[in-house]
């Protein structure tokens, strides 16, 4: 749970990242920025700010903002209603992001999840994305990512997004952000 003030502050901070990345938004879009705390109430550590540009039956495009060291926790996109799961490409636009996927574990990973959350980060193959770098994830691939010291702006190009179907490794997580106060 986060308070309305925390949510509003996160939106303001996210707007600053859009400016840093020189990404133009309409006034309507600025009002539509979402703040996801994954129900954990510790947004600055584990959370995500995002703007969905388009999400039809076939195509989705979003812009993701991560504050410094902010983590999008480990999850995967399973098949839903007989349809193959979500496929997504992450393209770093600004800052730096450390993406973790299945594969040989990094010797000295740059990502540093909080101790109580680290047990739910089970994949440790590291992909470092700097501006212009991108990585494509096929459906149902476990992944999590964390911004570097400056935060990050990441474009996501994907098939239809159904966030409510995502399966998180951490059983404490719900996708819904609850705003209090």
Smallest separation, CB 173 to its own copies (Å): 26
Which C-beta is closer to its own copies: that of 32 or that of 105?
32
Smallest separation, CB 136 to its own copies (Å): 6
Smallest separation, CB 28 to its own copies (Å): 9
Smallest separation, CB 42 to its own copies (Å): 31
- Exposed, middle or buried, 39 (CB in 10 Å: 0-12/13-18/19+)? middle
Q: Which backbone phi and psi does 62 adopt, to 5 degrees?
A: -135, 160
Which C-beta is closer to its own copies: that of 140 or that of 169?
140
Which C-beta is closer to its own copies: that of 26 or that of 108?
26
Query: Can you give the three-state secondary structure of 158-178, one letter per residue?
Result: ECCCCHHHCEECCCCCCCCCC
Closest CA to 148 of 109, 116, 178: 109
Which C-beta is closer to its own copies: that of 67 or that of 90?
90
Query: Which sign, positive or negative, has the C-alpha torsion 14, 30, 38, 164?
Result: negative
Residues that bind its own copies (CB under 8 A): 21-26, 29, 53-54, 56, 58-61, 84, 87-89, 91-94, 131-134, 136, 155, 157-159
């Amino acid at each position: 749970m986060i308070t309305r003030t925390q949510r509003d502050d996160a939106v303001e901070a996210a707007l600053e990242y859009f400016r840093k990345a020189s990404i133009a938004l309409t006034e309507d879009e600025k009002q539509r920025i979402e703040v996801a705390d994954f129900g954990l109430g510790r947004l600055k550590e584990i959370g995500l700010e995002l703007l969905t540009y388009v999400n039809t039956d076939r195509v989705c495009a979003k812009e993701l903002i991560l504050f410094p060291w902010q983590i999008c926790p480990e999850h995967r996109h399973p098949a839903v209603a007989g349809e193959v799961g979500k496929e997504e490409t992450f393209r770093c636009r600004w800052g730096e992001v450390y993406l973790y996927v299945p594969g040989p574990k990094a010797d000295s990973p740059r990502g540093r999840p909080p101790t109580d959350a680290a047990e739910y980060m089970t994949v440790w193959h590291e992909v470092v994305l700097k501006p212009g770098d991108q990585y494509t994830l096929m459906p149902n691939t476990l992944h999590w990512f964390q911004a570097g010291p400056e935060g990050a702006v990441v474009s996501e190009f994907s098939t239809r997004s159904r966030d409510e179907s995502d399966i998180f490794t951490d059983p404490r997580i719900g996708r819904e952000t609850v705003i209090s106060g």
